[in-house]
Amino acid sequence: MNDVVAPARIAKGLTELWSPRVVAELDDSYVKVAKLHGSLAWHSHDDEDELFYVLDGTLRIEMEARTVVLGRGDVFVVPKGVRHNPVAEEECLVMLVERKSTLHTGNETSERTRSVAEQLRPV
């Protein structure tokens, strides 16, 4: 994966919601894109931070202590161990930076949970 990529174009072309796809690798991290709409699931990542960068649309990240709303071009890092639930009232395109060990929905499993193998499928 050492090619020029267009994260917004790739995310826009995705057909599955809440199904991140790896578009680049950076040391021990993956750069992923996803198309979101609706609510994912309350979960946490015990040992990893999770960076959200909104490519288009609006994303609300609910956490137990507060809620943040991100618009196009905004970045927010959910610290490791913080329970959170990403919500997109309308279609939203995001780029994520996560360590390769990060499980999609932490220790929670739902119909939206995707394995690392699924996230590594070609786009």
Print pLDDT tens along the chain (123 aa).
578 999 999 999 999 999 999 999 999 999 999 999 999 889 999 999 999 999 999 999 999 999 999 999 999 999 999 999 999 999 999 999 999 987 766 676 767 667 666 766 778
Whether the full predicted model's pTM is greater than 0.85, yes or no, is yes
The CA-atom distances, in angstroms, between 8 and each of 31, 53, 67, 72 are 12, 11, 25, 11
- In contact, 91 and 36? CB cutoff 8 Å: yes
The distance from CA 91 to its chain's CA centroid, rounded to whole angstroms, is 14
CA distance 98 to 50: 5
Ordered structural domains, the chain, with CATH: 7-102 (2.60.120.10)
CA distance 55 to 66: 23
